[in-house]
Chains A and B, each alone.
Chain A
Amino acid sequence: MHALSVRGLVKTYRNGVQALKGVDLDVEQGDFFAMLGPNGAGKSTLISILTSLVNKSAGRISVFGHDLDRDMEAAKACIGVVPQELNLNQFETPETIVVNQAGFYGIPRALARQRAEKYLAALSLWEHRHKIARALSGGMKRRLMIARALIHEPRLLVLDEPTAGVDIEIRRSMWEFLRELNAAGTTIILTTHYLEEAESLCRNIAIIDGGRIVEVSRMDRLLRKLHSESLMLTLRHPLTAAPVLAGYHIALVDEHTLEVEVTRDRNLNDLFATLSADGIEVLSMRNKVNRLEEIFMRLVDKSAAVAAGARS
């Protein structure tokens, strides 16, 4: 049984825009699943249909075997959602918000209060529990939405760009929290624009573009598809020209920086051995772009080219 199973999902808005054009998707139980796509690709529409905020035009969705149409209450009870846009009652306190949310899921008041303390504390909000939501910082509001989504302890947590606009320190602590949650058995689906976030957290990935899934893969397999990587090397001593090394394409970016394209059939030992032999001392190295970002851009460009070809 899949945590989420989507079949033939179509959404056409009243203005004629077809946001989803027949999406099929399976997410395994216990997975940490990334859903990536450019703006307008259909990610949020898919999540909104899954959480009953948008009506679908066609297709079926089941959550842990519960059909969202036929067995709505059981299906929705399995899902917790952290939306992209803030949707808190600005005049309620964090404690009231999460306890009320528990009530909407049929959780008795006493248990709701225990869980409120558990999740507000876990997300560093317990000391702010009596402030009204409007007085919280942007990061706190994001964390409050996560606490609210967890209060009924869902088996499937859907996060739609949960770390958007959150500073790096809080983002890292949220990552750690989500990892622990996933390790404890919660299936997580994450959409994000931070590809580093998806690469760091997720085991499987779907790339959606133009309302269609263009790639579903294990993260490591997808990353292996990259035939070459561009590395940026910072040098101790200045160079006036790029060294010529057989099997490597090297460009001099500035007198202290080399850009080296390394194909999958080459290794870095040979590169560094040759540079050392030439008296070139490397101080540091970084990827020119995030590896996932590179694949993402290729797949999205390819999808756009296919769509353009189909139109012409």
Chain B
Amino acid sequence: MNATAENAHAAGHVAPLPTIGQSRWIGFRTILAREYGRVIRIWGQTLVPSAVTSTLYFVIFGSLIGRRVGPMGGFDYMQYIAPGLIMMAVITNSYANVVSSFFSAKFQRFLEEIMVSPLPNWVIVAGYVGGGMARGLMVGVVVTIVSLLFTHLQVHHWAAMLAAAVLTSAVFSLGGFINALLAKNFDQVNWVPTFILVPLTYFGGVFYSISMLPAWAQQVSIANPVLHMVSAFRYGVLGTADVHVGTAFGIMALSTVLLFGLAVGLMNRGIGLRE
């Protein structure tokens, strides 16, 4: 019996008696449902923009410029960039959801609702990250539907494709969480996406294969984690990748674990939340 249920019983109320594990699960689901509800409530800000920008990318880069580029990696250019554009949407939306939602809750102080509760910090992190993943993956589906209007997509390896999408959204949701935790104002919320996330994504093989680059640039690109994520997803969809797929999944899994540990560690110390 958890302490909340004990309270109720001490006060003479008869209530179901969830275990500690059930209580944490209910808390996790509550955060997740609230985040999901927010995504749906403001769908015009959360789900639509990526559909519009990906349409523009397909029209400009795929249809207009792509014809002159010719095939890439053995595929039509439009087909080649489709997995990259889907992953770009997953990355930006996973990150944006958590950074804006968590920072707003911190800034408007209703995060205190969760902070005063008995929920352990790892459950709070998991709840917010789950919300970011939900948006990232939903937008990924939206962009996939848009891409099907412009090109044909096969699925080479379902498990690889889904695992790459899920792990990438987890990594960037965690990144957004840590950004929101450390940010002191809205400038700092926007700083990372503008100056780090966008360059990493654009140089992460979304629009090109790194085989086109000189050797030194290929070596530099290998250090870009986004390249591994896009490549792993592209492998799942098209069966072609710029990097070793096993290494890519290793990097994603390791990043997820390390960033989760870092986020929980920061929460435990109250960094960015408590003085």
Q: Do residues A53 and B7 form an inter-chain contact, with CB atoms below 8 A? A: no
Q: Do residues B3 and A53 form an inter-chain contact, with CB atoms below 8 A? A: no
| Interface of A: prevailing SS | loop
- Does A124 lie at the interface of the complex (its beta carbon under 8 Å from any beta carbon of B)? no
* Residue numbers in B under 8 Å from A77 (CB-CB): 2-4, 6-7, 118
- The chain B residue sitting closest to A152, CB to CB, is B4
In angstroms, Cα B273 to Cα A53, docked, is 8
Q: Do residues B116 and A76 form an inter-chain contact, with CB atoms below 8 A? A: yes
Q: Do residues A104 and B117 form an inter-chain contact, with CB atoms below 8 A? A: yes
- The chain B residue sitting closest to A106, CB to CB, is B23
- Does B275 lie at the interface of the complex (its beta carbon under 8 Å from any beta carbon of A)? yes
Q: Do residues B3 and A55 form an inter-chain contact, with CB atoms below 8 A? A: no
In angstroms, Cα B1 to Cα A74, docked, is 10
Q: Do residues B7 and A155 form an inter-chain contact, with CB atoms below 8 A? A: yes
* Residue numbers in B under 8 Å from A101 (CB-CB): 113, 117
- Residues in B16-30 with C-beta less than 8 Å from chain A: 16, 18, 20, 22-24, 26-27, 29-30
- Residues in B99-145 with C-beta less than 8 Å from chain A: 105, 108-110, 112-120
With A72-B118, A108-B18: A153-B11 Cβ-Cβ less than 8 Å: yes
Contact for A104 among B20, B30, B105, B274, CB less than 8 A: B30
Q: Do residues A55 and B270 form an inter-chain contact, with CB atoms below 8 A? A: yes
In angstroms, Cα B114 to Cα A104, docked, is 6
- The chain A residue sitting closest to B38, CB to CB, is A91
In angstroms, Cα B115 to Cα A13, docked, is 20
Which has the most chain B C-beta neighbours within 10 Å: A79, A88, A105, A185?
A105
Type the 1/0 row for A71-106, where 1 means its CB is closer than 8 Å to any CB of B. Answer: 011111111010101111110000001001101111
- The chain A residue sitting closest to B20, CB to CB, is A73
In angstroms, Cα B112 to Cα A148, docked, is 12
- The chain B residue sitting closest to A74, CB to CB, is B3
- Does B8 lie at the interface of the complex (its beta carbon under 8 Å from any beta carbon of A)? yes
Q: Do residues A76 and B8 form an inter-chain contact, with CB atoms below 8 A? A: no
Q: Do residues B110 and A88 form an inter-chain contact, with CB atoms below 8 A? A: yes
In angstroms, Cα B22 to Cα A72, docked, is 17
Type the 1/0 row for B192-228, where 1 means its CB is closer than 8 Å to any CB of A. Answer: 0000000000000000000000000000000000000
- Using a CB–CB distance below 8 Å, which chain A residues touch chain B? 13-14, 51-55, 66, 72-79, 81, 83, 85-90, 97, 100-101, 103-109, 111, 148, 152-155, 184-186
Q: 17 A-B pairs, CB-CB below 8 angstroms?
A: A53-B116, A53-B274, A73-B3, A73-B20, A77-B6, A87-B109, A87-B110, A87-B113, A89-B108, A103-B31, A104-B117, A105-B27, A105-B118, A106-B24, A106-B118, A107-B15, A108-B16
